[in-house]
Amino acid sequence: MATAGTGTRKAQGERTHAAILESAVHIASAEGLEGLTIGRLAAELEMSKSGLFAHFGSKEELQLATIDAARSIFIRDVMRPAMEVPAGIARLWKLCDTWLGHVEAEVFRGGCFFAAVAAEFDSRPGPVRDRIADIMKEWLGMLRLTIAEAQEAGHLASTADPEQMAFEFNALELGANWSMQLHGYSQAFTRARDAILQRLQTCATTKGASLLPRGNKLAAKKRLKRIKGKPCAGDP
């Protein structure tokens, strides 16, 4: 698909479209996809309601487009950087650490975009809810796959359960976001990192443990005391 020249009417339309979605993602992360009203968005962008409306055709289409824009940012800022690290426990740690860093850096005003909109739409059936659920399944699948790869690489004990670990890591990430947003508890990110790192160290093989970061004080202390060959926490 050819890109239109920067001076054409079409190119201008695409710039406006992109500017709308950038504002929309920020508003929706803080005020929800219903709080994202067309009038408010138009005011922020200094254009008329109907002018903005013409880009989407319905509020639902605007919501879906906003969700996809947030997904693209998440892939670019969290998933892609992890993919540049070799598969295994290092990539797994990178994925969790970057996710927490992404929320910690307040890329979106309301913290984690998907935590916010999932809570908002979990009781509202329809295409918007379905799209959010699909993206969250995609994320959990990616996390589970990354855990399974670390296991196949011999970095995690063969008895570890990737589904269980993915559930726990996702919960810790949601919990950190929740604490930060509600209480401004910025330590939450350290708490979540400590919990994840601890869980990884408990399950790691000797080879796997050597690939985990050394900076963490807790981590270093723990590793010294680690008892090899004990069962992995949470195994079936």
Partner DNA sequence: CCTACCGATCGGTAGG
Q: Contact positions toward DNA, by CB under 7 A?
A: 12-13, 16, 34, 36-40, 47-55, 57-60
Among DNA, a copy of itself, none, partner that 85 touches (CB below 5 to 8 angstroms by kind) = none
Cα separation of 236 and 223, whole Å? 24
Binding partner at 16 among DNA, a copy of itself, none, C-beta below 5 to 8 Å by kind: DNA
**Torsion 151-154-155-159 (CA) sign:** positive
Distance CA(62)–CA(181), nearest Å, equals 25
Q: How far is the CB of 175 from a copy of itself (least distance, A)?
A: 2
Residue 57: which region, alpha, beta or left (left: phi > 0; alpha: psi -120 to 50)?
A: left
Region 139-198 residues binding a copy of itself, contact defined as CB under 8 A:
163-164, 167-168, 170-172, 174-176, 178-179, 181-183, 188, 191-192, 194-195, 198
Which one, of 27, 22, 107, 108, lies nearest residue 65 by Cα?
22
Separation CA 174–CA 188 (nearest Å) = 10
Query: Angle at which helices 89-104 and 188-203 pack, to 10 degrees?
Result: 170
Picked from DNA, a copy of itself, none, the partner binding residue 143 (CB below 5 to 8 A depending on kind) is none
218 touches, from DNA, a copy of itself, none (C-beta below 5 to 8 Å by class): a copy of itself
Q: Rounded to an integer, what distance in angstroms lies between the CA atom of residue 60 and that of residue 14?
A: 20
Binding positions for a copy of itself, rule: CB under 8 A: 30-32, 34, 109-111, 115-116, 118-120, 122-124, 132-133, 136-137, 163-164, 167-168, 170-172, 174-176, 178-179, 181-183, 188, 191-192, 194-195, 198-199, 202, 218, 222, 225, 227, 230-231, 233-236
